Chains A and B, each alone.
Chain A
């Protein structure tokens, strides 16, 4: 990139030549913004550490005495940075970002769920009517299984084998079952 004030080539957020803050990158990829490896297995502490390093350079507090254009850029930078941290510290958003390039589901409510999966849930509900609490119990078990499955998918992917095609569906299922855990037991029981 070329600095917009002094035309020097710049690498970081701030021009080394004239100390002007550069605009945030057009693609707000959270991994790129924070400068952390594109991995699912990413410690929260590593994200925080990277966040602090960049925030120190771009935060509006550092530009309060600078021209309006830099203050504006600093606001955009830090807003993007805060969003990037929020995405990368949440395992589900992080997984979706790696699989689809977006932190939130592409369609409202996520992709269509598999009919056999929904049929299974229907069975759980019936069980719950007989044994109250069965639904959330089963949902909890399935949640754990799905997390293990996601973990396995990403371990393989990070080693260069396997792909992420199933991730979006598994995240949708995960969202569905965690919703079931919070659901109160069948009425009348």
Chain B
């Protein structure tokens, strides 16, 4: 079973696999590797994913979801602006995770929407690989925090994928480039996608990729270019911000114009009967503030890597938004060299993910000489007295990483301790992202300050944190009850899994139908063969009955009714039973007249063992 690599993107998603030592993206029926990350929920319960959902978004604005990656693992309070931008109606009753209202249907979470995209990619893999993929490496923006990573893993689980590893997107791109070019040295990967921006500094040395630093912004990307251009077009056309459908139409129109401006000096946007011409220079001026925001992250990453721009040997561009000429010029100036663009910026992340997936099989040619060492993007810390953060894992630490801290109690007989874990690099807890509150309960009753509670924080190779605690004097394992601040609970995931199993019934039906057809085909073949050799054994009128049932079965096999196929197969068995009986009797007579019992057994379709038994 081959492992697959998946790039679950804001705008487009891809699946790739290593075949005969080379990574390639799997294509859809129109030979396109890109699956637009767009999902539409129909009133009848069906789900439309991909190009159709994206292109028809303007006709069904209230039931179509795009760019949901922006909402993964976030709290409703954090993404009001994003929801307004995409005109999504958030379910206000939920505080821990985002839920979008869909008319005539239960609200959906971004995790479920992403799972629909992943299901389509999984189906594509099954089709291309002639079977279930072994496991999947799924890429995430390097700057994704713990909750965003967990949400991505949850989506994969709901889609029925076994996640082998979450891989940072720039790192995936570096693998694809490094292995292709057999480079050694220090790379900068500049990854500007539809909704996220990452920059990573990596060192490739003797087959080991060491990520030195990473920085970014999980809310910066091509979507922002579209928005800026859209507002400009509306203002120029003298139009107001209007209804949802028009908004979707506008987004599609400006996105097309943005693409044109990659090669053309000007483009025209037709909207609401007006045609607005935008020049490259105007576009550049509109997006310059967004592009310049990426510079701060680049400088931070260089600083964390303790390097200056002139120490970077090569700069790699990743993500569809790096096709924008201003972005290319800006990155070129920032690092003082012309960036690499040899690999398709849309595909490079998926290709790298497939290579890592192949390495993780343990039997790949690459796995012996290649090793990937990634880092955690943001510091992890605990809230201590006064709301101040005490960092216990600094950002850009190589993962996996573990750190232990010892705590004690403040009052006599205290049996529980609350820990608040935050992620981020700000001094005050409230300025960072709350990851979760961990309640350590079941502590032994001891005077204040005596218990020594050792808490181990472990960040695994996916960049996800787990916590274990133990009281050292008594050896009592304090129970850690993790209350994630944002995201779905285990129960909620279970429920979604069950929902997806309901949908999976269709898959089971398909399998049973195929099995019924195979069985029917076997019976038909056997009957035809018997008739052709032993037509003399038929009674008058018997052939007509058999033929009637056989042809009914053949017709049924071309349809989808599994029960009918099974019933007719059974019927055919029944009507041919006397004929079959006569054949057996005839063969037995032949055997008794001097033939070898083993051969008779074979003719009778008995197993050799039985035949030998008779002989003995």
Contact = CB atoms under 8 A, between A and B. Distances in A.
A62 B359 CA distance: 8
B402 A79 contact: yes
Contact of A82 (B359, B361, B372, B397): B397
Contacts of A63: 362
B360 A61 contact: yes
Interface in A29-68: 52, 55-56, 59-66
B524 interface: no
Contacts of A61: 165, 356, 359-360, 367, 371-372, 461
B57 to A, nearest CB: 38
Contacts of B367: 61-62
Contact of B402 (A55, A66, A80): A80
B407 interface: no
B362 A65 contact: yes
A75 B458 contact: yes
B206 interface: yes
B381 to A, nearest CB: 16
Contacts of B164: 64
B465 interface: no
Nearest to A85: B398
Contacts of A86: 397-398
Q: Which of B363, B372, B373 has the most CB of A within 10 A?
A: B373
Nearest to B458: A79
A24 to B, nearest CB: 11
Contacts of B135: 64
Interface residues of B, number: 27
Contact of B360 (A55, A65, A80): A65
Nearest to B369: A56
Contacts of A60: 400, 460-461
Contact of A55 (B208, B362, B460): B208
A5 to B, nearest CB: 17
Contacts of B206: 52
A62 B402 contact: no
Interface in A76-115: 76, 78-80, 82-83, 85-86
A55 B400 contact: no
B399 interface: yes
Interface string B493-532: 0000000000000000000000000000000000000000
B62 to A, nearest CB: 42
Given A62-B362, A79-B400, A55 B373 contact: yes
Interface residues of A, number: 20
B210 to A, nearest CB: 9
Interface string B434-460: 000000000000000000000000111
Contacts, number: 61
Given A52-B208, A65-B361, A75 B400 contact: yes
B373 A76 contact: no
B453 to A, nearest CB: 16
Q: Which of B401, B403, B459 has the most CB of A within 10 A?
A: B401
Contacts of B402: 76, 79-80, 83
Contact of B401 (A59, A66, A83): A83
A42 to B, nearest CB: 19
A141 to B, nearest CB: 25
B360 A64 contact: yes
Nearest to A52: B208
A60 B205 CA distance: 19
Given A55-B373, A75-B460, A64 B165 contact: yes
Nearest to A76: B402
Contacts of B360: 61, 64-65
B461 A75 contact: yes
B234 to A, nearest CB: 48
A92 to B, nearest CB: 15
B375 to A, nearest CB: 10
A65 to B, nearest CB: 4
A82 to B, nearest CB: 5
A59 B372 CA distance: 9
Nearest to B400: A79
Contact of B371 (A55, A75, A79, A82): A55
A110 B206 CA distance: 40
Contacts of A56: 208, 371
Contacts of B400: 60, 75, 78-79, 82
A83 B165 CA distance: 22
Interface string B326-365: 0000000000000000000000000000001001111100
Given A55-B371, A55-B373, A75-B461, A66 B362 contact: yes
Contacts of B403: 83
Nearest to B164: A64
Contacts of A59: 371, 373
Contacts of B461: 60-61, 75, 78
Interface of A: 52, 55-56, 59-66, 75-76, 78-80, 82-83, 85-86
Nearest 4 CB-CB pairings of A with B: A64-B360, A79-B402, A65-B362, A79-B400
Given A52-B208, A55-B371, A61-B367, 7 more contacts: A55-B373, A56-B208, A64-B361, A64-B362, A65-B361, A75-B461, A82-B398
11 contacts: A56-B208, A61-B165, A61-B360, A62-B362, A64-B164, A75-B458, A75-B461, A76-B402, A78-B400, A80-B402, A85-B398
